[in-house]
A and B are shown apart, each in its own frame.
Chain A
Amino acid sequence: MMMSQLLLGLVNGSFYAMLSLGLAVIFGLLNVINFSHGALYMMGAFLAWMGMAYLGLSYWVMLVLSPFIVGVLGVVIEKTMLRWLYKLDHLYGLLLTFGITLLIEGVFRSFYGVSGQPVDTPELLQGATDLGFMVMPNYRAWVVVASLLVCLVTWFVIEKTKLGAYLRAGTENPKLVEAFGINVPLMVTLTYGFGVALAAFAGVLAAPIIQVTPLMGSNLIIVVFAVVVIGGMGSIMGSILTGLGLGVIEGLTKVFYPEFSSTVVFLVMVIVLLLRPAGLFGKEK
Chain B
Amino acid sequence: MNKKVGYAIALLLALAAPFVGYPVFLMKLLCFSLFACAFNLLIGYTGLLSFGHAAFFGAAGYFTGNAIKNWGLPFELALLAGVAAGAFIGLVMGALAIRRQGIYFSMITLALAQMVYFGGLRFGDFTGGEDGLQGVPRGKLLGVVDLSSDLTLYYVVLAIFVFGFALIMRTVHSPFGQVLKAIKENEPRAISLGYDVDRFKLMAFVLSAALTGLAGATKTMVLGFETLTDVHWSMSGLVILMTLVGGMGTMVGPIIGAVIIIALENKLGDFGTFMALQTGIEWFNTLGEAVSMVTGLIFVACVLLFRRGIVGEILAYFGRRKPA
Chain A positions within 8 Å of B, measured between CB atoms, are 27, 33, 81, 84-85, 88, 90-92, 94-96, 98-107, 109-111, 113, 218, 222-223, 225-226, 228-229, 259, 262-263, 266-267, 269-270, 273-274, 277-278, 284-285
Contact = CB atoms under 8 A, between A and B. Distances in A.
Contact of A225 (B102, B107, B295): B107
A33 B291 CA distance: 24
17 contacts: A33-B103, A88-B307, A90-B102, A91-B49, A94-B103, A95-B49, A96-B303, A102-B293, A103-B292, A103-B300, A105-B292, A109-B290, A218-B233, A225-B110, A225-B111, A228-B107, A277-B100
A273 B108 contact: yes
B293 A106 contact: yes
B103 A269 contact: no
B96 A102 contact: no
Contacts of B283: 110-111
B111 A103 contact: no
Contacts of B273: none
Contacts, number: 128
A67 to B, nearest CB: 23
Contact of A90 (B103, B112, B115): B103
A72 to B, nearest CB: 19
A225 B36 CA distance: 24
A75 to B, nearest CB: 17
Given A84-B304, A96-B303, A98-B237, 6 more contacts: A88-B307, A99-B296, A103-B292, A104-B296, A263-B119, A270-B96
B22 interface: no
B114 interface: yes
Nearest to B300: A99
Interface of B: 49, 96, 99-104, 106-108, 110-112, 114-115, 118-119, 122, 233-234, 237, 240, 244, 283, 286-287, 289-300, 302-304, 307
Nearest to B108: A229
A106 B244 contact: no
A98 B237 CA distance: 8
A84 B296 CA distance: 18
Nearest to A230: B111
A109 B289 CA distance: 8
Given A225-B107, A229-B107, A259 B296 contact: no
Contact of A222 (B110, B291, B292): B110
A266 B299 contact: no
A110 B103 contact: no
Given A102-B237, A102-B295, A222-B111, A277 B102 contact: no
B122 A259 contact: yes
A91 to B, nearest CB: 5
Contact of A96 (B292, B295, B300): B300
Contacts of B287: 110
A110 B299 contact: no
Contacts of B103: 27, 33, 90-91, 94
